[in-house]
Structures are given as structure tokens and as C-alpha cells.
């Protein structure tokens, strides 16, 4: 009989070291690595180890984890990007989300445009 197995994303495979990534930070709650297709001179992805497919799926009990991710994102960005940066969460089709494991994009190293296309 078919098991009702949740879909495993490429980011979960990175967490488990099943596929390689250029990892720049890890702790018990999260992992950060370089985006394989960078949109700026610095383009990192910060993900929780907990499976949350998208920010719209987050629940009240994720409050502490989400705050923690923001502080880690700030720290990784502050260390690298003294002239400023952007933190981005894409959500769903209109948000151009392509990997359904929550991630914060950390972008910088050039003048970024606004508004986004
Ligand atoms: P999204 O469009 O979902 O917000 O962003 C997904 C990001 O993940 C994209 O910027 C894409 O380049 C990146 N990405 C997709 N697959 C891989 C991968 O296998 N390794 C790494 N390092 N980044 C990936």
C-alpha cells in the first residue's frame, strides 16, 4: 500500500547532507547556504530545520523560531553587508516561490532595485 509520505524538498536534502551546498552557518534550529543561482554578489538562503513549507503555513507556536531566524539573518547579513541588504520571503505562486521549504533570502553587495519586478 502507498504510504502517505510528505514531499521532501531539495532543502531538506541539503539539511541531511544528501546533496551538496555551500553552507555558511548551521545550528540546531537552522541552516544557511549560498544560493546556487545568485541574484546579487551576496545571496544566501536561511532555512529552519523544521519543515514549514511556506510562511503562510506558519502557526502561533512558530513565533520563537521565526524571530530566531530573523536575528540569525540579521547577523549573517551584518557580518557581510555593511552598506545594506535585503531580506526576502517569497510565498506561493504570485510570490515566485519555487522551493516549498520556508527560506529567507539574504541579498546584497550591489544597489538593489525597488519595487521588485
Ligand atoms: P524561491 O524562489 O523559492 O524563493 O527561492 C528558491 C531559491 O533556491 C532560488 O533562489 C534558487 O536559486 C535556490 N535553489 C534552488 N535549488 C537549489 C539548490 O539545489 N541549491 C542551492 N544552493 N540553491 C538552490
103 CA distance to ligand 1 middle (Å): 9
DSSP structural state of residue 31: E
Report how far ligand 1's centroid is from the alpha carbon of 111 (Å). 21
pTM of the model as a whole: 0.95
Whether the pLDDT of residue 59 is over 70: the answer is yes
Q: Residue 34 C-alpha to ligand 1 middle, in angstroms?
A: 9
Strand arrangement, sheet containing 30-34: 23-26, 30-34, 42-48, 104-108, 85-88
Q: Is the Cβ–Cβ distance between 33 and 45 less than 8 Å?
A: yes
What would you report as the CA-atom Rg of the chain, rounded to the nearest whole angstrom? 15
| Mean pLDDT score across all residues of the chain | 95
Instruction: Write the DSSP string, 44-109.
Output: EEEEESS---SGGG--GGGHHHHHHHHHHHHHHHHHH-TT-EEEE---TTTTT--SSS--EEEEES
Residue 41 confidence (pLDDT) above 90 = yes
Q: Is 101 a catalytic residue?
A: no
86, 95, 99, 100: residue to mutate for ligand 1 pocket, most atoms within 8 A of CB: 99
Compute the distance between CA of residue 47 and CA of residue 50 in angstroms, rounded to an integer. Answer: 8
Please tell me which residue, 4 or 27, carries the higher pLDDT value.
Answer: 27
**ipTM of this model?**
0.99
Instruction: Provide mean pLDDT across the span 16-42.
Output: 98
pLDDT band at 7 (very low <50, low <70, confident <90, very high): confident
Query: Which residue's C-alpha comes closest to atom 19 of ligand 1?
Result: 10
Amino acid at each position: 500500500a502507498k504510504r502517505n509520505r510528505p514531499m521532501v524538498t531539495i532543502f531538506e536534502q541539503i539539511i541531511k547532507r544528501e546533496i551538496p551546498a555551500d553552507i555558511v552557518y548551521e545550528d540546531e534550529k537552522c541552516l544557511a547556504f549560498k544560493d546556487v543561482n545568485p541574484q546579487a554578489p551576496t545571496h544566501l538562503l536561511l532555512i529552519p530545520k523544521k519543515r514549514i513549507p511556506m510562511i503562510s503555513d506558519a502557526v502561533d507556536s512558530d513565533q520563537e523560531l521565526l524571530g530566531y531566524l530573523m536575528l540569525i539573518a540579521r547577523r549573517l547579513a551584518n557580518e557581510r553587508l555593511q552598506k545594506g541588504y535585503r531580506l526576502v520571503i517569497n510565498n506561493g505562486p504570485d510570490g515566485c516561490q519555487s522551493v516549498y521549504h520556508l527560506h529567507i533570502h539574504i541579498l546584497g553587495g550591489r544597489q538593489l532595485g525597488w519595487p521588485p519586478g
